[in-house]
Amino acid sequence: MVLRNNRAGFTLIEIMTVMGIIGMLATMSLPNLIRARSTSQTRVCITNLNKIESAKQVWGLEHARSLDAVPTVTDLIGSDAYIKKMPACPASGAYDFQAVKTPATCTIAGHTL
């Protein structure tokens, strides 16, 4: 009787080749993932700035304020105010409301209206 050695499996060369291909694909896709994250953070921040700007304009009209009036956080944010919860910049920036005539800003470069 002849004994056969039928072992199924992958060789070390095959495994290393697959790992190399996976590593190359990960290396090529990483910059695109970082750029996509940055772009989405910018878009969310601009959406937040638009909400703040809309609330400022309504506040100014409803309270007959001049264009130079600067609303406070309590004027715009709160359960009975124009925005229920203070929006947060996804890139950890801080918002400055500015005067009614001036668009709100974020401290992160590129996050502008």
Widest Cα–Cα separation across the chain: 102
- Residue 61 domain boundaries: 12-106
Any domain includes 94? yes
pLDDT in tens, 53-84: 999 999 999 999 999 999 999 999 999 999 99
Rounded CA gap, 36 and 38, in Å? 5
- Bridge-partner residues for 105, per DSSP? 96
Q: How many domains does the chain have?
A: 1
Q: For the domain that residue 64 is a member of, what is the CATH number? A: 3.30.700
The average pLDDT across 83-110 equals: 94
Task: Convert the pLDDT of each residue in 5-46 to its tens digit.
Answer: 667 788 999 999 999 999 999 999 999 999 999 999 999 999
Cα 113 to Cα 38, 53, 70, 100, 104: the distances in Å are 16, 9, 18, 14, 8
CA dist 66 and 101 (Å) reads 9
